[in-house]
Chain A
């Protein structure tokens, strides 16, 4: 049985003016670590709120562990853990009080389920009497995760847990998710950081309320081949402007120290590009063919979407 299933889910806001989710179809397998990847406004939070029974869809059918989000909401609430994007614990309760509160709500105790959260909790336990409102960002994140895990959920929903978090803490957080996955918990996590896609079993790329693609990272990248080159040279800003004036250029965007240039297919366009740039007196040029990464692919899908509309 699928851990999560969505069939033709639609949701609008402001009397239909904002289409937050448009005809979403998705199946997430039990035990999967599944990523919803997309920028703000893609519909990630709306999707989470529907699956956690906090928001009704306008139409369509969605289930979590076989339970319908409209008809069986109390069953879903018992078996899911939810960490919202906005810190939503009680700021005027201590770490320990927050945990006891959530344990009690779900008819259990901190002592009985201590083993479920131990690995994460030991990192904040020395401060257990500190008020949640006085914690740093990283500690709040760990406490919120403990509160979402205390009732031993089958499915864990994490809405942008790593947004605004530095690269070291982000890596640690994903290592923690790997260990939770090993226990068999289904994890659905959203993120605006494309590089985190590589930490998921499968991902859905989302944009403006729609799913652009669902598959493994390799599967999605492999399906959208590009004639892609990494270009390096002096005076990057002028260089990028010059690349965009070349007739064979489809798109040119900065990627780290290089610029990634998508050229028209089936064409020896890179030689032409080099000539074009040399003609414009650009120096220090290095052009090499590269394989696209997930961000290149996302950009390509966005551009295709924009031209098809």
Chain B
């Protein structure tokens, strides 16, 4: 098995008398596309915040990019990328300014950043838009720029929190082409989505129910063991049993 970049063992987070994340254990390998699914309120966001070094667990083990979430959360932040539909680019900065800004935050040296920016702009086919405000661009383009910015510093892992919500079916699939390309370079993809067809694009998928991981496998194996025709069917079978409303 290749290098493990995320390792958790009985990872738990309790808020008052509420166990948001209940002893979850899993490993994710380098270059893997890992789908992190669950119903609203199942505990996904809490788990992701722990793995990004933004929240301390109550108990259990979690290591991300080789760093301990209890003691080395600042190191974790340097070695991961993060993108969500909500936290994205600055609308009132241009494409280039956004790339510079985020590259600067991740500590990429000025000279290297300039080269990387130009390379990225031409790879995305945005030479004519590079000096336009991001706010004036279509949503699909913003998401592609946002994703590219999140991996500009060549992180070990990139966390994508519902990255494709609301985009058209072609752009959604082009976005997944970018995900595949990134994973093939060895960057691990940790992705959440409510589109169940996208669950099938992942190498492995976990489904959280009531704070625990109810299933974890390759999509093909999971469908087999649940006798389901697609991942939507698997999800409905598992999440219907949830006790916890969101």
Closest B residue by C-beta to A207? B168
Closest A residue by C-beta to B233? A167
The interface size of chain B toward A, counting residues with CB under 8 Å, comes to: 39
Give complex CA distance A39, B170 in Å. Answer: 10
From 223 to 246 in chain B, residues with beta carbon under 8 angstroms from any chain A beta carbon are 230-232, 235-236, 239-240, 242, 245-246
* A120 lies within 8 A of chain B by Cβ: no
* B211 lies within 8 A of chain A by Cβ: no
Instruction: Knowing A256-B231, A302-B170, say if A164 contacts B165 (CB, 8 Å).
Output: yes
Closest B residue by C-beta to A166? B39
Nearest chain A CB to B122 CB, angstrom units? 20
* B176 lies within 8 A of chain A by Cβ: yes
The answer to whether B245 and A254 touch across the interface, beta carbons within 8 angstroms, is no
The answer to whether A166 and B38 touch across the interface, beta carbons within 8 angstroms, is yes
Give complex CA distance A169, B41 in Å. Answer: 11
* B97 lies within 8 A of chain A by Cβ: no
From A136, A240, A256, A299, contact of B197 by CB (8 A) = A256
* A298 lies within 8 A of chain B by Cβ: yes
Chain B hits for A111, CB < 8 A: none
Give complex CA distance A194, B195 in Å. Answer: 10
From 234 to 254 in chain A, residues with beta carbon under 8 angstroms from any chain B beta carbon are 236-237, 240, 253-254
Chain A hits for B200, CB < 8 A: 256-257
The answer to whether B165 and A298 touch across the interface, beta carbons within 8 angstroms, is no
The answer to whether A165 and B194 touch across the interface, beta carbons within 8 angstroms, is yes
Instruction: Knowing A166-B38, A167-B239, say if A254 contacts B168 (CB, 8 Å).
Output: no
Give complex CA distance A41, B41 in Å. Answer: 28
* B219 lies within 8 A of chain A by Cβ: yes
The answer to whether A40 and B166 touch across the interface, beta carbons within 8 angstroms, is yes
* A137 lies within 8 A of chain B by Cβ: yes
Instruction: Knowing A39-B167, A40-B166, A168-B242, say if A138 contacts B231 (CB, 8 Å).
Output: no
Instruction: Knowing A137-B246, A138-B246, say if A168 contacts B41 (CB, 8 Å).
Output: no
Chain B hits for A283, CB < 8 A: none
* A84 lies within 8 A of chain B by Cβ: no
* B110 lies within 8 A of chain A by Cβ: no
Chain B hits for A237, CB < 8 A: 177, 180-181, 184
Give complex CA distance A168, B42 in Å. Answer: 12
Chain B hits for A40, CB < 8 A: 139, 166-167
From A136, A171, A254, A299, contact of B41 by CB (8 A) = A136
Interface string of A162-199 (1 = CB under 8 A from B): 01111111110000000000000000000011110000
Chain A hits for B177, CB < 8 A: 237, 240
The answer to whether B246 and A39 touch across the interface, beta carbons within 8 angstroms, is no
The answer to whether A167 and B246 touch across the interface, beta carbons within 8 angstroms, is no
Give complex CA distance A165, B184 in Å. Answer: 31
The answer to whether A164 and B197 touch across the interface, beta carbons within 8 angstroms, is no
Give complex CA distance A80, B83 in Å. Answer: 38
Most buried by A among B194, B230, B235: B194
4 A-B pairs besides A165-B194, A167-B232 with CB distance below 8 A are: A136-B41, A167-B236, A237-B181, A254-B201
Give B residues with C-beta under 8 Å from A. 38-41, 138-140, 162, 165-171, 173, 176-177, 180-181, 184, 194-197, 200-201, 219-220, 230-232, 235-236, 239-240, 242, 245-246
- Can you list 25 A-B contacts (CB < 8 A)? A39-B140, A39-B167, A39-B169, A40-B139, A40-B167, A137-B40, A163-B165, A167-B196, A168-B236, A168-B239, A168-B242, A169-B39, A169-B40, A169-B246, A192-B165, A192-B166, A237-B180, A240-B177, A255-B197, A257-B220, A298-B169, A299-B169, A302-B168, A302-B169, A303-B170
